[in-house]
Structure 1
Amino acid sequence: MVGGIAQDDARENRLIDLFNLHQAADRVRHGTDAILKLDNVEYEFELKSATTNKGGISTVRDLGPGHIAKWRGKHWIMAFFEGSKLLYCRYGSPDAMRPWITEKWDYIKADFEMAKYVPAHITLDTMFEIVGKKEVYTKADARKIHKNQMSAAQYETAQDTVEGYSPARMLDIFKDRARYVIERGSTLNNPHIPSKYFESWPEIRTNHAAKLRELVSTWRDAKP
């Protein structure tokens, strides 16, 4: 996996140089891949790459609402390689990617709505049936339920009695765990973008930086 990450980083850096893009100084790994500044306006880009013998473009592990929100306004560059050789790229505007993003959100939306509303209906009796009834629950009891989803400091802060957690506080932790489990099971593991979504996008083989700016300008000027 480390080798794959290194290869992805190398390809990403190559595309940034080729298209004369830049990255935010405080960028994190799962943040915006690159930025194009055009006429004093910044356009955020998602950069993806694949070898030509694959049937689509891979995306991310555990795709959820955060990725949907992040991608809705992004521009896209799809780069196609043969080994280390870049063959060509395709450019997609936010409008071009909207159908795929909408499709994925429609697929997972109900599950995440379930995660929002179902935990509120969990009662003390339900929790007692699953974890047992106590007057005070220990940190070990809480960690057995919520595992590593809270840090040691968070478990400490969550205590509402000297000895640990009251049933009411334990119920809050129990509900948080239920919400996490539903959301975790609702994400999509690396959904691919089929070629039908991008095979008609403009192709870029030469003059990459200039051509990209021309395409973004055309998209921008066509907006109402």
Structure 2
Amino acid sequence: MTVQDDRRENELIKLFQLQKPANATRSGIDAILYFNGCYIPFELKSTTSSSITTARDFGLDHIQKWQGKHWLFGFYNKTGTTLNYCLYGSPQSMEKWISDKKAYILPDYTLAQFAPELLTLNLLYEILGQKQVYTLEDARRLQKKQYTIQQYRNQMDLNQGYSPERMLSILKDRCRYLIERGATLNNPHIPASYFQDWERITENHAQRLRELVAEALQDKA
């Protein structure tokens, strides 16, 4: 997150009287609303345009992270210094956008689960040559920097090396990674048309948010 984005996020947290999780980076939660005895997770986004950017390399992990969350969007002037208005997105109102993105990328992720199992030792031999024992350097030729040195060593099933079967497993991991990497979307936007009819919050921010959250929770029930 840039300094500018961090400043805006902190401004939204203060304006709406939210709490920042102590382990925000690891939890994947930007802010929390304590409401009616419940801790409600929020995703915060800010923009200087009419649409909302989401995340680079958007994949299934983002979908799993965002499903069921509440959202706050802050719309700023072109320089990002003045907040013009905010939008609240309930889990129900965000469900269609998230579901559409899941439907778009799911076929590629399904392919990533099944395609590696079609790889054979013959293909491994084509890539690295046929050996009884493969070396650490052989493994690095396949997985590049996707394994740490400790992960490479943990994968060894022979004395200072790898059997053909273990190397095939590493090749399958590489294949899975490449397909999943290709399945991600590059920062998909939420277009202005998606939330054009949503209420703009311009005053009494904290109070109005709690009223809208109460409505969303009631609708869900």
Instruction: Tell me the TM-score normalized by structure 2.
Output: 0.96
Residue from 83, 86, 89 that aligns with 2:83:
86
TM-fit CA distance, 1:222: 2.3
Distance 1:10 1:18 in 2: 12
Counterpart for residue 120 of structure 2: 123
**Which runs of at least 4 in structure 1 moved beyond 2 Å after TM superposition?**
none
Contact kept, 8 Å, 2:55 with 2:186, in 1: the verdict is: yes
TM-fit CA distance, 1:29: 6.3
Residue from 87, 102, 116 that aligns with 1:105:
102
Q: Report the identity percentage.
A: 50
Distance 1:21 1:44 in 2: 10
Q: Aligned pair 1:59/2:71, yes or no?
A: no
Contact kept, 8 Å, 1:97 with 1:197, in 2: the verdict is: no
Counterpart for residue 72 of structure 1: 67
Counterpart for residue 32 of structure 1: 29
Contact kept, 8 Å, 1:89 with 1:204, in 2: the verdict is: yes
TM-fit CA distance, 1:55: 4.2
SS at match of 1:203: coil
CA RMSD of aligned residues (A): 1.2
The correspondence of residues 158-197 of structure 1 with structure 2, limited to 5 A, is 158-197=155-194
Instruction: Tell me the TM-score normalized by structure 1.
Output: 0.95
Distance 2:220 2:177 in 1: 39
How many positions carry a matched residue from both structures?
A: 219
The residue identity in structure 2 corresponding to 1:74 is K
1:131-176 deviation line (CA, Å, top 9, x unaligned): 2211111000001110111111111111111130010010010000
TM-fit CA distance, 1:223: 2.4
The residue identity in structure 2 corresponding to 1:60 is A
Unaligned runs of 5+ in 2: none
The residue identity in structure 2 corresponding to 1:175 is K
Distance 2:20 2:117 in 1: 41
Contact kept, 8 Å, 1:90 with 1:202, in 2: the verdict is: yes
Distance 2:208 2:110 in 1: 42
Residue from 92, 96, 100 that aligns with 2:93:
96
Residue from 5, 10, 24 that aligns with 2:2:
5
Distance 1:223 1:174 in 2: 45
SS at match of 2:52: coil
TM-fit CA distance, 1:183: 0.3
